[in-house]
Amino acid sequence: MRVLGIETSCDETGIAIYDDQQGLLANELYSQVKLHADYGGVVPELASRDHVRKTVPLIQAALKDAGLQGSDIDAVAYTAGPGLVGALLVGATIGRSLAFAWGVPAVPVHHMEGHLLAPMLEDNPPSFPFVALLVSGGHTQLISVTGIGEYRLLGESIDDAAGEAFDKTAKLLGLDYPGGPMLSKMAQQGQAGRFTFPRPMTDRPGLDFSFSGLKTFAANTIRGNESDDQTRADIARAFEDAVVDTLAIKCRRALDETGFSRLVMAGGVSANRTLRSQLAQMMQKRNGEVFYARPEFCTDNGAMIAYAGMVRLKAGNTGGLGITVRPRWPLAELPPV
């Protein structure tokens, strides 16, 4: 059984084909980073228009790479939310239309479930139950996962997501969009301990996050110091250390609360090397395990949508003829498998 996956929730156009016997057969990805760089962030209308231009050619490329035709596809999965409404509608319209033309089911997929299941694409996938840290530009959530669709929200950011805070702080440091990865690279040259940033909301019980204050603290620190390269690197180091420490502290609390011994992290920020290293050390001390996807499956991609679509297809969770997207869509509303 083969599923074509379409991801167009924001500023990446991702297309993939997943086979339940052979695994991933094709994976195409186009990033709009250069398109939005001049504006310092994603422009929704430009994102939607670019998805219109790129989605069909990428589908054709994926079919060619896999040596398949449309008649070889058994279902079409597409991201139905959450995300930018215009961008979502592009993928949903194309996906639903192809499914109708090919006479196969269409499977609407939750974007964050796609991220959560991305580590399942690896050779050593996690088994249930586990705590999931979903950390990206739009979301920072801790979730108790006892099965597919069995999700309980433990905590989330009450303001900026971690990835959003990375990008905003990078902009304050004069880095181009998207600045998060560039800030992390700069932080590698920074001196630990020169600046000390707060670890927000770790001095009180609970599993919620807040990162907007770190951005303000960074802005004040930047204004109060000389803007030479080393100082900027030291500030980047202090900021990254604060975010990583905060995420690790909250993950530790979530594991204590649930009693689980497995931790899964997913989303764009899960590619951060410092975060991976610290969580690996933490789980080793706890005699537990940490799982994450390879870097190219941490950011938005079609492979995770194709895989999640396969899981939902086998459970009978297919869509009707209507084209419906949900820019806001709580993960806990998904039915269990």
Residue 206, C-beta contacts closer than 8 angstroms, at least 6 positions apart: 155
Roughly what angle, to the nearest 10 degrees, separates helices 212-223 and 229-258?
160
Phi and psi (nearest 5°) for 305?
-75, -40
Give the helix ranges, DSSP H, for the chain: 33-37, 44-66, 85-102, 111-117, 162-172, 180-187, 212-223, 229-258, 273-285, 302-314
Residue with tokens 């996906």: 95
Provide the pLDDT for residue 28.
98
Tell me: is residue 139 an annotated ligand-binding position. no
Tell me: is residue 111 an annotated ligand-binding position. yes
Residue 229, C-beta contacts closer than 8 angstroms, at least 6 positions apart: none
Q: Give the chain's residues under pLDDT 70.
A: none
Provide the pLDDT for residue 205.
95
Tell me: is residue 81 an annotated ligand-binding position. no
Domains of the chain, first to last: 2-117+297-333 (3.30.420.40), 129-292 (3.30.420.40)
Tell me: is residue 137 an annotated ligand-binding position. yes
Tell me: is residue 180 an annotated ligand-binding position. yes
Provide the pLDDT for residue 144.
98
| Nearest by Cα to 219 from 250, 195, 185 | 195
Phi-psi region of 287 (alpha: psi -120 to 50; beta: other; left: phi over 0): left
Tell me: is residue 71 an annotated ligand-binding position. no
Provide the pLDDT for residue 192.
95
Residue 143, C-beta contacts closer than 8 angstroms, at least 6 positions apart: 116, 131, 132, 134, 151, 152, 153, 154, 331
Tell me: is residue 272 an annotated ligand-binding position. yes
Residue type, 269: V
Number of neighbouring beta carbons within 10 Å of residue 72: 15
Provide the pLDDT for residue 318.
96
Provide the pLDDT for residue 310.
98
> pLDDT, tens digit, for every residue of 125-160?
999 999 999 999 889 999 999 999 999 999 999 999
| Nearest by Cα to 305 from 55, 131, 50 | 55
Provide the pLDDT for residue 96.
98
> pLDDT, tens digit, for every residue of 252-288?
999 999 999 999 999 999 999 999 999 999 999 999 9
d(CA 6, CA 80): 10
d(CA 17, CA 15): 7
Phi and psi (nearest 5°) for 311?
-60, -45
